């Protein structure tokens, strides 16, 4: 199986036809900084042994981001950040970043304020419902703490490395050591199989972490 990741959809289709493969687009994602029509994942993976006539399922980048209004977002103020971070990414293709940790006597790591490009979307006093937001963009969060700048270490195992890099930026964490546990042909889609610190441990913003990755997803990953 050829490697089509990083190749334009048009060029990949031409190449696949010559090899008697059928290229099928199953999903498209807006990826800031990347041109539209670029293949970012494929099944089967590059190097797999396949028969002629095999269908290849690919995900490509969108040419432009779709928009939504801030009124389309769920209630964020007072909610736990980790739950809402996943919901915003899965349902709206929005990334989340911790901008500030602020003392609050309430529960830890709950959302006190949300901003988009410097505009406040919601806080304790108001919610602004008419701000246009582009999918693929990042929301900035102010979170609560009863101590100084601590967050719970997120679970990274079974995530691909591209997702993990965005998550590290979200929590302002630094990658100090990355080990390959197999031959890596596509680092962006390689899977995390081990992490340190462990999920759920309380760590300071700016802490360093260690990861081990391999190309294929382990059987015990969903």
Please tell me the pTM assigned to this model.
Answer: 0.55
pLDDT in tens, 95-113: 999 998 888 878 888 999 9
Looking at per-residue pLDDT, the higher value among 211 and 67 belongs to 211
Q: How many domains does the chain have?
A: 3
In DSSP notation, 27-73 reads EEE--TTS-TTBEEEEESPTT----TT-EEEEEEE-SS--EEEGGGS
CATH number at residue 85: 3.30.10.20
Question: Of 148, 167, 193, which residue sits at a domain end?
Answer: 148
Tokens of 14: 């031409």
In a domain, 80, yes or no: yes
Binned at pLDDT 50, 70 and 90, residue 80 comes out as: very high
Of 99, 115, 148, the residue that ends a domain is: 148
Boundary residue ending a domain (126, 148, 170):
148
Residues 110, 87, single domain; the answer is yes
Categorize the per-residue pLDDT at 65 as very low, low, confident or very high, splitting at 50, 70 and 90. Answer: confident
**76 and 50 in one domain?**
no
Does residue 135 belong to any structural domain of this protein?
yes
Answer whether residue 221 is part of any domain.
no
User: What pLDDT, on a 0 to 100 scale, did the predictor assign at position 50?
Assistant: 84
Residue 180 and residue 111 in one domain? no
Same domain for 209 and 181? yes
Does residue 142 share a domain with residue 157?
Answer: no
144 and 157 inside one domain: no
**pLDDT tops 70 at residue 70:** yes
Domain assignment of residue 157, yes or no: yes
Domain presence at residue 220? no
Say whether both 200 and 157 belong to one domain.
Answer: yes
User: Which domain, by its residues, includes 167?
Assistant: 153-214
Let me know if residue 171 belongs to a domain: yes
Residue pair 78/148 in contact by the 8 Å Cβ criterion: no
Has residue 174 been placed in a domain? yes
Please report the pLDDT score of residue 135 as a whole number: 86
pLDDT > 80? residue 217: yes
Q: What is the pLDDT of residue 112?
A: 96
* Residue 222 maps to a domain: no
Rounded to 5°, the CA angle 87-145-97 comes to 40
Coil, helix or strand at residue 64? coil
């Amino acid at each position: 199986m050829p490697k089509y990741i990083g190749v334009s959809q048009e060029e990949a289709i031409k190449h696949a036809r010559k090899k008697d493969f059928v290229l099928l687009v199953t999903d498209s994602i807006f990826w800031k900084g990347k041109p539209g029509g670029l293949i970012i994942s494929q099944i089967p993976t590059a190097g797999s042994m396949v028969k002629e006539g095999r269908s290849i399922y690919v995900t490509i980048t969108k040419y432009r981001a779709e928009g939504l209004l801030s009124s389309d977002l769920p209630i964020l103020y007072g909610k736990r950040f980790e739950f809402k971070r996943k919901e915003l990414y899965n349902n709206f293709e929005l990334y989340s970043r911790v901008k500030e940790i602020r003392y609050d006597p309430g529960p830890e790591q709950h959302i006190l304020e949300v901003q988009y490009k410097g505009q406040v979307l919601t806080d304790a006093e108001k919610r602004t419902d008419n701000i246009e937001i582009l999918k693929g963009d990042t929301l900035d969060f102010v979170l609560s703490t009863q101590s100084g700048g601590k967050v719970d270490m997120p679970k990274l195992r079974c995530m691909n490395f591209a997702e993990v890099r965005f998550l590290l930026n979200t929590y302002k964490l630094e990658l100090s050591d990355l080990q390959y546990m197999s031959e890596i042909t596509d680092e962006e889609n390689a899977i995390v199989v081990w992490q340190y610190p462990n999920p759920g441990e309380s760590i300071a913003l700016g802490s360093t972490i260690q990861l081990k990755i391999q190309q294929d997803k382990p059987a015990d990953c969903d």
